């Protein structure tokens, strides 16, 4: 039978009633004749609550212990979902990331999958069992529990789809696919029925919350088709299908909040970027004078910032907080940087930095102006 991998986000399994509805959907898929592997996130805002709990104990909790703590969230939801499926007459078993054979590098809180060994999953599928896998987590080659960064359950799902030769990977959340902007920020955002994986990866790296960037990278490399759907739709009235080469000329506006702009002299660029890498501080859009540091996967930013200042000194590096990045992503952007700048000027925003690539034009702006800038760019480009 064909394998279908389904992933359900935290809002989809936020309470017992929602877990029951998800179990019903999974059982229905199984009864259509598919082998089913399900990746599940922690219930609701559990991960945020666990991180907040750790920060009540220590302002900068160690990343290893954070991984030990937050991975309990997915263990709760995977076990409850397996119980709910069994109560509906189907065999089901739950596995942690390590039990599923997800092997990562040795970074904590933002590890990357380096190999998947799904032998136990394949054994259970051969018996007709529905397999529930805890998303967002794996085991390093040093046998340490690791997590894959926020949104990492998407990566778990796509990596498993590739390893199992799945027919497709279905990503379920509280929205019915990918839009031309975040509908909560831009009310007239348009639904995109098809998206090219290259564009989707650019969107994810620019800060879009629809899919994890590492997940899309896996999908591109392994040629996995991604179907983004709304959990509560019995038959998806709308969905976004992401495949290689789809949806030419599509565009989207993306905002990334909570970023820090690192500024330095060109002569110090190599030294600064090396220090960021050595201290495991992620950065994007690096130039000879600037780099952008997203704080999403930096729970210990205060500690890392102090270490960076100690190593480089304030005369070498300036860090500006309270910023965001607004981007236009898509095709046909060659020569459009003038229109981009005009849109920012029209809403009274002076960007800190401006960059342009084949699929993206981006500006670093004050976080307080991020929503206005996204709306202005959507009106101008979409």
Q: What is the pLDDT of residues 97-119, one digit of tens each?
A: 999 999 999 999 999 999 999 99
Over the chain, what HEC string results?
Answer: CCEEEEEECHHHHCCHHHHHHHHHHHHHHHHCCCEEEEEECCCCCHHHHHHHHHHHHCCCCCHHHHHHHHHHHHHHHHHHHHHHHHHCCCCEEEECCCCCCEEECCCCCCCCEEEECCHHHHHHHHCCCEEEEECCEEEECCCCEEECCCCHHHHHHHHHHHHHCCCEEEEEECCCCEECCCCCCCCCCCEECEEEHHHHHHHHHHCCCCCCHHHHHHHHHHCCCEEEEECCCCCCCCCEEEECCCCCCCEEEEEEEEEEEEEECHHHHHHHHHHHHHCCCCCECCCCCEEEEECCCCCCHHHHHHHHHHHHCCCCEEEEEEEEEEEEEECCCCCCHHHHHHHHHHCCCCCCEEEECCCEEEEEEEHHHHHHHHHHHHHHHC
First-residue to last-residue Cα distance in the chain:
42
**The pLDDT value given to residue 261:** 97
Q: What is the pLDDT of residues 215-267, one digit of tens each?
A: 999 899 998 999 999 998 776 678 999 988 776 567 999 999 999 999 999 99
Q: What is the pLDDT of residues 172-185, one digit of tens each?
A: 998 889 999 999 99
**The pLDDT value given to residue 117:** 97
165 and 34, same domain (yes or no):
yes
**The pLDDT value given to residue 247:** 60
Tokens representing 161 are 């789809």
CB of 54 closer than 8 Å to CB of 73: no
Q: How confident is the model at residue 328 (pLDDT cuts 50, 70, 90)?
A: very high
Average pLDDT, the chain: 93
Q: 244 or 274, which is more confident? A: 274
Least confident of 27-41, 122-136, 154-168, 243-257: 243-257
Number of domains composing the chain: 2
Percent of the chain clearing pLDDT 70 (strictly above): 98
Residue numbers of the domain that contains 35: 3-174
Domain CATH code at residue 361: 3.30.2130.10
Domain CATH code at residue 132: 3.40.1160.10
Long-range own/partner contacts, residues 117-122 (CB < 8 A, 24 or more apart): 117/163, 118/160, 118/163, 118/164, 120/95, 121/37, 121/95, 121/160, 121/164, 122/164
Q: How confident is the model at residue 331 (pLDDT cuts 50, 70, 90)?
A: confident
- Name the β-bridge partners of 318: 263
Assigned domain for 342 exists: yes
What is the phi-psi region of residue 193: left when phi exceeds 0, alpha when psi lies from -120 to 50, beta otherwise?
A: alpha
Q: 351 or 316, which is more confident? A: 351
* Domain boundary residue, one of 125, 157, 174: 174
170 and 299, same domain (yes or no):
no
**The pLDDT value given to residue 345:** 95
**The pLDDT value given to residue 354:** 93
Assigned domain for 192 exists: no
Q: How confident is the model at residue 23 (pLDDT cuts 50, 70, 90)?
A: very high
Assigned domain for 204 exists: no
* Domain boundary residue, one of 150, 174, 198: 174
**The pLDDT value given to residue 350:** 92
* Domain boundary residue, one of 174, 197, 216: 174
**The pLDDT value given to residue 58:** 93
Tokens representing 210 are 């629809």
**Could you give the CA distance from residue 129 to residue 118 in angstroms, rounded to a whole number?**
14
Tokens representing 191 are 């639904």
Taking residues 272-293, report their average pLDDT.
93
150 and 259, same domain (yes or no):
no
**The pLDDT value given to residue 248:** 59
């Amino acid at each position: 039978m064909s394998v279908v991998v389904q992933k359900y986000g935290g809002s989809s399994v936020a309470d017992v009633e929602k877990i029951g509805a998800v179990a019903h959907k999974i059982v229905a898929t199984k009864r259509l004749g598919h082998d089913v592997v399900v990746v599940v996130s922690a219930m609701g805002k559990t991960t945020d609550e666990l991180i907040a709990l750790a920060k009540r104990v220590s302002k900068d909790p160690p990343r290893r212990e954070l991984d030990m703590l937050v991975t309990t969230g997915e263990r709760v939801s995977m076990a409850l979902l397996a119980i709910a499926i069994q109560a509906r007459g189907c065999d089901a078993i739950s596995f942690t990331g390590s039990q599923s054979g997800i092997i990562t590098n040795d970074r904590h809180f933002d590890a990357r999958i380096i190999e998947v060994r799904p032998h136990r999953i394949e054994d259970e599928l051969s018996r007709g069992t529905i397999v529930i896998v805890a998303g967002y987590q794996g085991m390093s080659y040093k046998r340490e529990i690791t997590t894959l960064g926020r949104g990492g359950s998407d990566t778990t799902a796509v990596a498993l789809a590739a390893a199992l030769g799945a027919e497709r990977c279905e990503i379920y959340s509280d929205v019915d696919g990918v839009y031309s902007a975040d509908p909560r920020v831009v009310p007239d955002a348009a639904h995109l029925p098809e998206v090219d994986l290259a564009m989707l990866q650019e969107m994810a790296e620019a800060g879009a919350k629809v899919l994890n960037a590492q997940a899309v990278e896996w999908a591109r490399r392994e040629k996995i088709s991604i179907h983004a759907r709304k959990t509560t739709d019995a038959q998806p009235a709308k969905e976004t299908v992401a495949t290689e080469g789809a949806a030419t000329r599509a565009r989207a506006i993306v905002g990334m909040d909570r970023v820090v702009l690192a500024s330095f002299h060109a002569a110090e660029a190599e030294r600064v970027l090396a220090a960021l890498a050595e201290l495991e501080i992620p950065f994007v859009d690096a130039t000879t004078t600037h780099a952008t540091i997203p704080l999403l996967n930096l729970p210990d930013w205060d500690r890392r910032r102090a270490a960076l200042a100690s190593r480089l000194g304030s005369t070498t590096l300036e860090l500006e907080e309270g910023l965001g990045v607004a981007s236009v992503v898509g095709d046909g952007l060659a020569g459009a940087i003038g229109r981009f700048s005009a849109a920012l000027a029209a809403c009274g925003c002076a960007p800190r930095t401006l960059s342009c690539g084949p699929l993206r034009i981006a500006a670093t702006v004050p976080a307080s102006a991020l929503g206005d800038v996204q709306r202005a760019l959507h009106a101008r480009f979409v």
